[in-house]
A and B are shown apart, each in its own frame.
Chain A
Amino acid sequence: MATELTLTTKDFKSDQEVRWCPGCGDYAILAAVQSFLPELGIPREDIVFVSGIGCSSRFPYYLNTYGMHSIHGRAPAIATGLASSRPELSVWVVTGDGDALSIGGNHLIHALRRNVNLKILLFNNRIYGLTKGQYSPTSEVGKITKSTPMGSLDAPFNPLSLAIGAEASFVARTIDSDRKHLQSVLRAAAEHEGSALVEIYQNCNIFNDGAFDALKDPSTRDRALIPLQHGEPIRFAGDQGVFRAEDGTLFVDAVTERNEDRVLVHDAHAADPTTAFALTRLADPDTLHHTPIGVLRDVRRPAYDRLMTEQLDLAVQRQGAGDLSRLLAGGDTWVVG
């Protein structure tokens, strides 16, 4: 079936006018997703995008698939019901740092631990955009915003650390402006069975412009970004590499002939999450230096939807297909008349 499909980017564009601010990073992500979806080989009608509330959550309106723009923070819960009752669908969640990590934090962690077959795209711009510029759960400490004129006091979440702590089986990070990388991560997420959390650094040019410039500016990005490739030594900026210290923590150092064989080889499939977690802690939350991008973790674990379906099948095997009359007439009964 799938090979006969000849869908193009255009097929995934809805007839609705896109209404983000000019220059918003969401445009780039939308374009990347629209041009990526055809390669899934999945018919449009079998794809569903579910979102919560926030700028990013308008996303489903612009895709010519099935879609639901729901309520703040609840998209993972709604998508869980859909995915687990319709395992054959390809269900995607689009959310933001406020939607996923603040009001919806509970649903996000539980979707991840259950390993529901959802692809969760978390647009992280480190600010509240739709409510016009308050700090978010990923904003750096001391952030001056409308609601924090003297600087925010909250320590930020590290979304990928949180996801790994929540037993996520797939964790990745990418950047709105790097379409090729973004699509490579989407591809890996789509191929993964179970929950996939993809953090996408996304620029809000109105309320938090330049938040990720360190990772985009040609003069700084090489030394700030650490691209991850499964099975490859983690090296960047020509001579830089990631090493493991004796206490297990990771650090960055210059690679020399003497230490070259000790550069950490990235293993996204490692069952133990320790190294993946350590990678999430490598970046400096303020300067974003040493930010790994790519797939940090991708391990096999049975998807919730499949397990649920298997239980239904097993129940039929054990008890036989449900017989309504027999169910209702079960237990002690007596006859009148």
Chain B
Amino acid sequence: MLVWSKPWRIATWAVAVPLFLIIYGLPIGVIVLASFSGQWNDILPSNMTLVHYSKAFRSDSFDALKASLLTGVIASGAALVCGTWAALALRNFKTMPKRVLDLLFFIPSAVPSVSVGLALLVAFSQPPFLLNGTTWIVLIAHFVLISAFTYGNVTAGLARIPVDCEQVAESLGARPFYRLRRVTLPLLLPYLVAAFSLSFALSMGELGATVMIYPPGWVTLPVRIFALSDRGAIFDAATMATILGVGTLIVLAILSKVSNRAAVR
């Protein structure tokens, strides 16, 4: 505790809590309230209703939710496999080559997502790599944007695994793949779950690149929210944003439970 005196502690809390509520709580509260609103002409909404939610699970919005969840799961899964593979492969590299390859992996996370979207659009609009207008280009964009985070998380996890465990496994006769399957990956599990969670959350919220490349048949939830708010359907957009937030939180909560269970062991 940095502030020892009780009055000062109370004063600090008195400033911090309202500030937190205004910066974080107010926007979320407004979105949630708007999702239940029939009308909002005053300081508070009126004609509270569930009609936006019933519409959300019947219309194109539901397809957008499905597209987002599938994109998130597929791109995060692919990023997890590739990021883990890369982290394991680069683990024993000497300092200089590792630094160079690390840099290559992290470049997509440093480039604005709009630039990544534009780059993919240009790169995959001509044969033989004609992916423009397909679902693949969305999946690739999400994969490119999140794989750096997956790689970073797994690399950090690998650095924390006790080397002795793996070496003892080898001394006991475990060949590399057996050791990977029975020792390294189980020890890495909490970090893999964390990497997947972060990737999934990033993918669920990704708009910058997706809005440039999405095909008509694969509209993700952020794109749908953007389109709804753009044409003035604020309550519907707020409903979709709430569903997006809650859906992502539920998935992350489940993953967190898995991660905690793995970490306790």
Decide whether A and B are members of one complex.
no
